[in-house]
Structure 1
Amino acid sequence: MASRRYHNRSYLQLLYLTVLLLPLLVAGFWYKTKLADIQSDMERDHHNLLTSAIALINRELGDIRNALNLLHLDHSLNIALDRQQAPQLGIAADVFTRFGLSIRNLQQVRWLDESGMEMVRVDIKNQKTVIAQPWQLQNKANRYYFADAMKTMPPALYFSPIDLNVEHGAVERPFKPTVRVAFHTGIIDPMPNGVLILNYDLTKLFKHLSSLKQHQTQLSIADDNGYWLLSPQSDWQWGRDLNHPQYNLKTQTPALWQELTKDKTDNAMAFKLGSVSSERSSLMADGSRDIFLLAITPAAQTQANRQRVLWEAGVIALVLFIPGIWLIRHERNYLHSLKGLNDQLDRDNQRLFEAQQQAQTLLEQQQVLQDDLVEARKLSSLGMMVAGVAHELNTPIGSAMMAISKQQSDLDTLKAQISGGLTRSDLDSFLVNAEQGLALAEQNLARSVTLVQRFKRLAIDRSNEDVVAFKLLQVANDLTDAIKIRAAKQHVAIVLDIPPEIEMRSQPGTLSQVLQNLITNALDHGFDTNNKGSINIKARLEKGWVSITVSDNGKGIEPSFIPQIFDPFVTTGRGKGNSGLGLHFVYNWVVSVLRGKVKVQSRLGQGTTFFLQLPQNLETPAL
C-alpha cells in the first residue's frame, strides 16, 4: 500500500513537471522559430531593397558616364576647341546647347581652361538653355571639384561628392541633390588642357530612392564622410551642406559606422537605429567616392515584432497549460477514486479470505502449485494458465461449499426436530437431502481433483527438460483447458484436430510453450474486440515427422512485417504492453531445442497460419 501511494505521488509529481515544462518548451521553441522566420523575412526585404536601390543608382551613373563620354568625343566640339587654333566658343556653346536639350536631368554644361576659368557655360532649366555671357563666366580655380578633376587622368571620369545645388551663394530650395562629373581634356583629345564638367540633377533619382520600401524597411544613404543623403528622419539629411555637423553617422552611431567602413553588413544587425543591412557603392571607377546604402528596419518595429511574438508564445503556453491543469485534476480525482476502490478491494479480499477457510486445503495446494511455477524457468507462459485454472476451480469448489453448508443447515434443523419430536417424514426428508448434497459435493470435489491433476501434469512438463514419451493430444488438451477462459472472453474458439494415436518422444513442456505463445499471439493481434473467431490446431504424422499447423481466421499480418516477425522486440502491439519476444522464443525453441522448422503465411483480412515441422523422436540435447 505504501509502495502504491509512493508510486501515485511520483506519478503526480512527474505530471506536474510535464504540465509546467511542456507548454514552456513548446512556446519557447515557437518563439525562437517565429523570430527566426521574421529575421529571415526582414533580411530578404533588406536584400531586395538594396538590390533595387543599387540597380537604380548604377543605371543613373551609367547614363551620366555615357553622356559625358559622348560629349567629349563630339566631333564638332573637338574642332571648336582644337588647341591648334583659336577656340570657337560660339560653336562650342551651340554643341553644349544641343547636348543639354537632349540629356534629361542636366543642369549645366561647361568647359574650364587650365586656370579654372569658365570659357563656355550653358545653363539648363525647365528644358530651356541659357548661354552664359562673358561677364557671367566665373573662375572656379578655388573649388575642390576643379582641382580634383585636373588630377584625374583620362579616360577615367571624376565624380564630385553628391551635395545640394548652390545658387548665388545659398542652397537652392527646394533642395536639388547634384553631382558634378568631369573629364580632363587635352590629354587624349585635341582640346586644350582643361576640364569638361556636367552638373547633373539627382532630384528624381532621390525621389525614386526615397519611395522604395519593403514592408517596414526604409532605405537610407550616407556619403563617405558619414553625412546623410537620405535618412530615417528628413531633418538629418544634407548636414554638411546645411552646416549641421551633429547629423552625421559617425557621431550618431559609431558602432554602425565602424561596421560600414570594414565591409558590407550581409545580415541584418541590431544597432541604435534598428536592424541594418548595407551595401557600398562607388561613384568612380577606381573605387573611390563611396556612398553607403542602408536598409533600416526601425528598432521600434523590431521591438514590436518581438512583443507580438512573445504575446503569441504566451497564448500558446496558456492554451497548452489549461488542458494540463484539467488533466492534473482529472488524474488526481482518478487516483483518489482508485485508492478508494483499492481499499474496498482489500476489504472484500479479507472478507473473501475469511469466507473460504473451509476450502483452505485446496487453496493451499493451488498456491503451492503456483509457487512451484514461479520458480520454474518458464514462469511467464504459465502465469496466464494459473488464472485459467483458478477460474475453473472456483466453480466446483464453490458448489461443494454450498452443498456442505446446506447439509450443515439441514443437520441443525434435524437436531432441533429431535428435541421437539422427530417424525418419520422429517427423517426421510433429511436423508434424501443429505444423499443429494453429499453426491453433489463429491462430484464437484472430484472435478476439482481432476483439474488440479491436469494442471499439475502440465506444470511438471513445463519444468522438466528431459526427453520423454507423451501423447500430443493430451498436451494440447491440457494447454487449451488452461487458456480457453481467455479465449472465450474474446469470443474465440480453439479447435483441435489431432489424432489421438500421435505419440512423440520429445520435450512436452517446451512444445506446450510453443503452442501457447502461438495461441496468445493470435489472441493479442489477430482479432478485434467482440469479433467472433477461431484458432485451429491441426497435427499429422508423416514419415517420422510431426507437422503441426496453428491457424486463425483473424486480421492477418502486414506483408512488410513478415520478414522480421521472428526477430526480437518486433511487435505491432507495443502500446498494449507487448514486448515483441513471444515469436522470437517460438523460433528459438523450435529450431534450437526441438530441432524443427517453423514458418508463417498470412493474408490481410483472411488470417495467419504457422507451420511447425518437428521430429517425432528427439535425442536428449547435450548440455
Structure 2
Amino acid sequence: MIHTPATRIFPSLWAAYRHRRRLAVFVIPWVVGLGLGVPLLWHQIVVNAREPQIRNREETLSQAYDILSRTLDRLGRDALFLADLQSRFGDTETPITPLSVEIFQSFASSSPDYDQVRWLDTSGNERLRVNHRGGGEPIVVAEDQLQNKVDRPYFRDTAALPLHGLYFSTLDLNVENGVVEVPHLPTLRVASPVFRNGIKQGIIVINYRATRLLERLKRLDTSVDLYLMNQAGYWIQGPNPEANWAWQLGIPTPDAARAELLRGVSTGNKGLFHTVGGDWSYRRFDPGAGLLITGEVVEMRAPDAGLYLLARDAAGAINSQETRGKLILGMVAAILAVVALAVTGRLANSMEAEAEWARQMEDTNQTLRETNEKLSVTQRELARAERLSSLGLMVAGVAHEMNTPLGSAALVLSKAAKDLRLFKERIATGLRRSDLDLYIADSDVSLDMVRDAIHRCAALVQRFKQVAVDRATLERRDIDLALFIPDADPRLRRWDASAGIGLTLNVPQDVAITTYPGPLAQVLSNLLNNSLLHAFDAGKPGMITINVRKLADQVLIEFTDDGRGINDTDIQKIFEPFFSTARHSGGTGLGLHIVHQIVTEVLGGSIAVESPPDGEVRGTRFIIRLPKSAPAQAET
C-alpha cells in the first residue's frame, strides 16, 4: 500500500473498521476531553474574566458602605452628645437659656449638612429650633413659629426609647406643610431622648441634609455604576434619575421591576444576582448598626431606614480579557480536534502515534507542574497581603477610636472660647454674681469633658505602643514565680478587698523558669484589669484566684474569677484587637489582644479561655502554659 499524505492522516473506512477497538482506546478520551473540557474551560474563562469586575464592584460597595457607616455613625454620636449636653443645661420646666441657644447654634454650624437642630418637649412641642440652610449662619426660629410634632413618627418612636437610645428615619425628600420641598432636599432624621435626673425631658432631633453624601457616592468610581435603593425597592439614586423618589413624587414604578430587584437582594446582607439589566453586586446597610455593636447605643429604632447599595458595571465597559480568552480557547479546541484526527490517522497506519501521545502527555504534566508552582507562589503572596492588611486595619482602628474623643474635645473647647469672650464682654459692661457662677459651672463641665477626652486618647496611644513594642530589647532571665507574681502588680502584694472582691494566690515554692519578666508581668496585670472591669457586677462580692502548677517541661498558670462569665459569641473574638464589650466606659479592646500576643509570640507559650471553667457553673478561667525556658528570640 502506498502511503500518501491523505492515507497517512485520514485512514480508509476499512482500516478504521479493522482497528476500531484499538482506535476506540485513543479516540474516546479525545472526544470526552474535548466534549467536557472545552465547555468547562469556556465557563472558567467567563468566570475568571468576570472576577476582576466582581472584585471591583465589591470594592466600590465596600468603600460606599464605609462612607455611609462613618457618616451616619458620626451623626448618631452627635445626636447622643447633644442630648447629653441638653440634659445638663436645661429642662422643660424652665425657659430656654442663652447657653442652650448658643450650644445649638454652635452645633448646627459644626457641619454644613445639618439642616435643622431641634429640641422637642415631652408633648411634641418644639422648644428650640435652629435652621441652617443655604450655607449661611444658623438662625434661631422665633417662638411663635415653633410647631408641634407629636404626630410625627420620629417623635413617637424616639419618645419610647430609653437613655442612650437612638432613632433613624427613612431617607426621603423633605416635606414642608404637607408638600415635597422644591428643589428636592434628601433628608435623614436622627433623634435621641433627653433625660435629666432620670426624668425624660423630650427629644433631640437633627435633620441631616444628604445631598452631598449622595453626590459623593455617585462619583466614587467611574467604572462602576453605584445606586442606592430603600428596603421597599424604590430608587433613591437609581439608573434612571427620573424614577428617583418615585414613592413620594407619585411616579409609577413597574411592580415587576421592583419585585425582581427585591428578589435579588433577599438572599442575604450582601451577594450577587442577575437581571435583564446585567450582573449586580449588592450590600445592605442598616444605619447605626455599628453603634449597637460597640455598645454606644443601648437600643435602636430604625423601622424603615434600611438601604441597599447596588453596583453594576458602567455602560460601555468591555471585557477584552473574556473575548481574547474565548478566541484562544476556540483556536486551541480547533487545533486539538485536528490533532485528534491526525493521531487517529497515524494510529491506523503505524505505532508512531503512541510516541506522540506520550510526548503530549509529558507536556501536559509539565504544564501542570508549572501551574502548581505558580499557584504556590500566589498563595504565599496572598498570605503576605493579608498580614499587611491586618496592620492597616489596626492603624485605621486606632485612628477611628481617637477621632471621637478628639472631636468632642474640639467642640467643647470651641464653646469654652465663646463663653470666655462673652464673659469678658460682661466684665466690661458690669459683671453680676450669677454671670460669674454660671461661667465657673460651665467651665468646670467643659474642663472635665476635655480632660476625659485627653485621658482616653492617651490610654489608647499607650496601649497601641504596647502592641508594637520592640521585642529585640527584651531581657530574658531566671525568676522564682513564688517571689515574682506578688510583685508583678502592686495590687497583688497589697490587695484591697473593700469592694467585696477577694484574691487568692496558690503559688508553690521553688517554681523557677527562664523567661521575660516584663512581658509576663504585663500579662498578669492585664488579666487582673480585665477581671475587675468585666467580670463582676457593681456591689456584688467575688473571688479572683491565681493557681500555679509545675508540669514536665512547662509551667501552668490558671487565672480564674467567679464573675458573670463570657457568652459564646464574645468568647470567639476575645483575643481580637479592638474587641470590647465596655467601649462606652473607656475600654479599647487591646488588653487581651496584648496578652495573647505576649504569651504566644514573646514567652513562647499558649493561652486558652474557658467560661464557665470546667466543673463550675459560672466564671471565667484563662489557662496559660509557659515553657520552663522561653525562646531566645520570639517568632515573627
Larger-Rg structure: 1
TM-score (structure 1 length as normaliser) = 0.45
TM-score (structure 2 length as normaliser) = 0.44
Q: Which has the higher contact order (CA 8 A, sep 6+)?
A: 2
